[in-house]
Amino acid sequence: MIEPREPWHPFQSEDELLVYLKQHQLLAQKATEPKQLFYQGEFSSELVPCQVVGWQDAVFAVIRLNGALHTIHPDHLADMQPKKSELQALNLSDAAPEEPAYLQFSLGGAFAEEPTPPKPHKASASTETDGYTVIDLETTGLDCRCDEIIELAAIRVRNGVVADRFQSLVQCQGVLPLNITEITGISPADLEPAPHLEDILPEFLSFLGDDLLVGHNVSFDIGFLTAACVNLKLPTFQPASVDTLKLSRKKLTLPSYKLTEVRIALELPEHNAHRALDDCQTTMEVYEALKNRKDKPKRSSDRRFRGAPLERHPELYPTEIVSGPEGLFYGKVCVLTGELHIDRPEAAALLEQAGATVKTSVSRKTDFLIVGVQDKSLVGSDGLSSKEEKALELNRTGKGSIQRLTEKQLCAMLAGTRPTEETAPVEPAPEVVAPVEDAPVEEQISFLNMESPEEQTFHQMESAIRSVIQRNFLDDTLLNFQQMASYWSVSYSTALIARIRFGKTASYCSLDAGAARELLNEAGIRYEAKSSDPSFVRIPLRQPEDILPCLPILAAVTQRALDAIPKEFDCCGRVEACSDAKRCVNPSTAMCVGCGYRKILASGRIFYGPNRTV
């Protein structure tokens, strides 16, 4: 969450605010007035009131918090809202906020002259029985701030029957990416005779009217339309909408909720995918098939497990619990993952009785990870849950020492007995390093023009750094090796990772003192501090191979350097797609670097969809 650095749109009326809050599930659809919203996060560890005062780039909400303005993704703000019981326990009110709730702010936060507000394009109380309109856009990319609309389409539906259609290509002002042509079949020649967006958009908005809008990941389409209205100084676009992506998650259990996968699951006819009008037709058929369908049944006690609950086995229950300092779990931090034969709440209660602290997510303080049966449709291709993957990462980088327990080992240790099978640390899978011959010829040549031992050592260092970057869902194209006067600097984006020198008189690896000093002391690795550059410490190298024991330190320093890169925003709007993939899916490397939700995913916390861990 950051201060708004670009122009943003303040709400002009209570009606406009109500439409926005309902659209982003921050307010019940039947509500007639705003309610008090709350924030708890990076800027406040306690639950504090905040106000939504506007929006920016059709992606972020602008909130006023403790007298200052910040941008935040509305989905994140929705996740922060407490339950009524929590409000009562904290003696906080969820009544409507005090007036004035709508203020005109300039970018710097000062009051600006109030212009004559344009009449917002606001959806009426149109329902399914009155009709709705399905929309879909084709664009040059995924970012409404810099990418363009190249096709507009809509289907007006009345009583389940198509009443009218709208479709138009849109002339592209910039270069049409080749991959977009490959996906959609739309070529630059197709767009040359097409109208400009400023000419066709008013006609398209007129076709939409006040209808309820239906789309698959409809917030993406509405985001582009809203941004276009702002850029072209058209009336504010804030329609009511239904998202078939969210609807399919609620009604179906699928490994993927892409429109094509949902269509196949519902056994609907195939249309030409990735063309706007055909996708509208598919979306309409999906909506008609789902809207009256019952919700899928709730999951078992483990909310992440979709299979049938496991049978309870009395022999797995410990006959007695050894608590106090004599117990094997006393003072330990434990995390549970997967489906257990013992009910999850009961297993947590037994651990707490034994003196353990049970957490919901893995951190460097975790001592034991108790692993049950994992649902194969929810875990990654490696068969590991996100908690297991997080434990691997912490152990691999030297930040944790987490032991993996089976349920049988758990019960034995609760009774104070060391299991016959020794507990094993969560071990990383062997890393696969891409062969050098796959790289371009110029990259196969050592950048230091070294002899074989130095070159081999360098490639091992490079591999350690790249593996950390890839585990953080970042593109390693921003990894930069720059030759200085007597050494090479290694950096990623704006973060300096290391300085390396293999010279005839002196060789060393220089690391950030704040990030490396503690790690080096713990590992017992000798280093030097130079008064000429106190922000760095040097690991002296008598021969290139001396750096190999330091590779875990180098990986940990790389991780800290990545963590220190300032986040530019909470999320680009792809939270659901990223949650499904358990990684950042934004194709823009620069966007990934500044994404706060990417960092949350890298820590093992997933807020949305079937992989949800929080």
Q: Does residue 582 come out as left (phi exceeding 0), alpha (psi in the -120 to 50 range) or beta?
A: left
CA-closest candidate to residue 588, choices 503, 482, 488, 473: 473
Q: Which residues of 141-152 are buried (b: 16+ CB within 10 A; e: fewer)?
A: bbbbbebbbbbb
Identify the active-site residue in 24, 76, 121, 274: 274
CB 221 within 8 A of CB 202: no
| Alpha-carbon distances, residue 506 vs 266, 457, 530 (angstroms) | 68, 16, 14
Burial of 441 (0-12, 13-18, 19+ CB in 10 A): exposed
Residue 63 bridge partners (DSSP): 52, 70
Residues in the chain: 614
- Give the long-range contacts of residues 511-519, CB within 8 A, separation 24 or more: 511/536, 511/537, 511/539, 511/553, 511/554, 511/557, 512/536, 512/557, 512/560, 512/561, 513/537, 515/556, 515/557, 515/560, 515/561, 516/553, 516/557, 519/398, 519/553, 519/556, 519/557
Name the token pair of 23: 């659209």
- Which residues in 455-492 are b (16+ Cβ under 10 Å) and which e? bebbebbbebbbbbbebbbbbeebbeeeeeeebbebbb
- Name residues whose C-beta falls within 8 Å of residue 66's C-beta, 6 or more positions apart in sequence: 43, 44, 48
CA–CA distance, 607 with 614 (Å, rounded to integer): 6
Distance CA 614, CA 610 (A): 11
Q: Residue 263 has which token pair?
A: 């269509």
9 assigned to active site:
no
Buried residues in 556-582 as b, exposed as e (16+ CB within 10 A)? bbbbbbbeebebebbbbbbbbbbbbbb
User: Residue written as tokens 């608590």?
Assistant: 323
For residue 491, the Cα-to-chain-centroid distance in whole angstroms is 24
Residue type, 113: E
| Closest C-alpha to 121, from 214, 208, 54, 196 | 208
What is the distance of C-alpha 63 from the center of its chain? Answer: 21
Taking phi over 0 as left and psi of -120 to 50 as alpha, with beta for the rest, 159 belongs to: left
Q: How many Å apart are CA 444 and CA 281, to the nearest integer? A: 50
Q: What is the DSSP string of 148-178?
A: -EEEEEEEEEETTEEEEEEEEE---SS---H
The residues assigned a catalytic role are 274
